[in-house]
Amino acid sequence: MFQAPKGTRDISQEDARKYQFVIDTVRSVFEKYGFQPLFTPAFEDYRLLSAKSGESVKNEIYYFKDKSDRELGLRFEFTASLARFISNNPTIPKPYKRYQIGTVWRYDNPQAMRFREFTQADIDIIGSTSILADAEVVSCFADCMDLLGFKDYYIRVNSRKLLEEKLKEKGIKNTLDVFRSIDKTDKIGESGVKEELKQKGLDSEKIMKIIKSLKPEGEIKELLSLTKGKKIKFDPTLVRGLEYYTGLVFEVYAGKGLACGGGGRYDKLISAMGGPDTPATGISFGVDRLVGLMDELKLFKEIKNTKVFVVSVNEKLTNEVVKLVNELRDSGISCDYDMMNRKFSKQLEYASSMKIPYVIILGEKELKEKKILLKDMNTGKQETISSKDIAKKLK
């Protein structure tokens, strides 16, 4: 028997509805903020993918050659594809506010809430150098977290530009090495960071003193002012290890000490990938981690798809069942019926196993009287309703 490839899994029924709920929720917030959808290919030219991350990325992605010996790779996030799109469409009106939700792939070692195939939800604003753009993406994600029901989340913010300035003022020149070590604070702690800095020949005590003395000023202070009322926290240790970030950086924590998203400003990336000199800022959610955390925190209310199941007392009424089902669907009510020629009791068992909240029982007597028997599957209560009023009742 075949199994799903390592790092992938099938998501069906109840879990699939949870994913769909999260995706629909964040999409509604993205569009409320004026972001427009963009769809890009699942695979890209390997040169594009390596332009952002270097040749080492080949070992971290799904790399392959097609039948014409072209080097390709499955996308491992959406930024490279976005940069290509902007480069090929330089006249698109700015700021360009886009969102993308879809599947990405990374050849990582699978862990809890971490897979080789997973879903991301991104928003980016292209063309604006204003802090207003950074505040917009942070505020949008805060609204997503609120609407999904998270209470103890917070979004950490910092400025790589400000930290770099402070380090250089104190004589620390190789700031990139410092950033790479600081970015590991959550994993190895302050003592681990100090030890790594020492191994690099850096003055760890001096560096940590500079970081701890950092206060909100400049663009950080402005961002905090623009996002007042949102759950935003200044954190001088946040740098995000990716080298293409040029200013403000963000990281979303959803509880249990786990990050579920992050991003920042990347004003030089598009030009570095062959496009025009274009400022940009963005942030990304890991949908799988959001779903996993919401499960652990019991944030999902019961998500139902089918609202009513139509049961017939005998096969002679099949045409009447189909007619009623079509009428209910035309009225916007999700409904289903038996297609297995099961007996009455088995139809009820099926509706119960699928957690369908209502059952309509259709019999010859009810048809003659133009009545319908409606059963609440949660309470067991039954009531007889006029056929013409059933759609209104279910709504």
Which residues make beta-bridge pairs with 105? 117
| Per-residue confidence (pLDDT) for residue 81, from 0 to 100 | 95
13-50 confidence digits (pLDDT tens): 889 999 999 999 999 999 999 999 999 999 999 999 99
Which residues make beta-bridge pairs with 263? 250, 283
Q: Which residues of the chain have pLDDT under 50?
A: none
| Per-residue confidence (pLDDT) for residue 241, from 0 to 100 | 64
Element (H, E) at 100: strand 96-105
349-394 confidence digits (pLDDT tens): 999 999 999 999 998 888 888 888 999 999 999 999 888 888 888 8
| Per-residue confidence (pLDDT) for residue 266, from 0 to 100 | 93
| Distances 197 to 125, 164, 208, 354 between C-alpha atoms, Å | 35, 16, 10, 57
Q: Distance (Å, rounded) from C-alpha 215 to C-alpha 221? A: 9
Q: Which two tokens stand for residue 295?
A: 């499960």
Spatial CB neighbours of 127, under 8 Å, sequence gap ≥ 6: 94, 95, 96, 278, 279, 280
| Per-residue confidence (pLDDT) for residue 242, from 0 to 100 | 66
Q: Are strands 117-126 and 71-74 parallel, antiparallel or unpaired?
A: unpaired
| Per-residue confidence (pLDDT) for residue 392, from 0 to 100 | 86
CA 252 to chain centre: 12
| Per-residue confidence (pLDDT) for residue 258, from 0 to 100 | 79
Q: Distance (Å, rounded) from C-alpha 257 to C-alpha 241? A: 18
| Per-residue confidence (pLDDT) for residue 394, from 0 to 100 | 84
Domain with CATH 3.40.50.800 in the chain: 308-394
Q: Distance (Å, rounded) from C-alpha 26 to C-alpha 39? A: 16
Spatial CB neighbours of 70, under 8 Å, sequence gap ≥ 6: 45
- What's the fold here for domain 13-296? BirA Bifunctional Protein; domain 2 (3.30.930)
Q: In terms of C-beta density within 10 A (0-12 exposed, 13-18 middle, 19 or more buried), how is residue 347 classed? A: buried
Superfamily of domain 308-394: Anticodon-binding domain (3.40.50.800)
Domain with CATH 3.30.930.10 in the chain: 13-296
8 A C-beta contact, residue 64 and residue 32: no
Helix (H, G, I), strand (E, B) or coil at 233: strand
Read off the pTM: 0.88
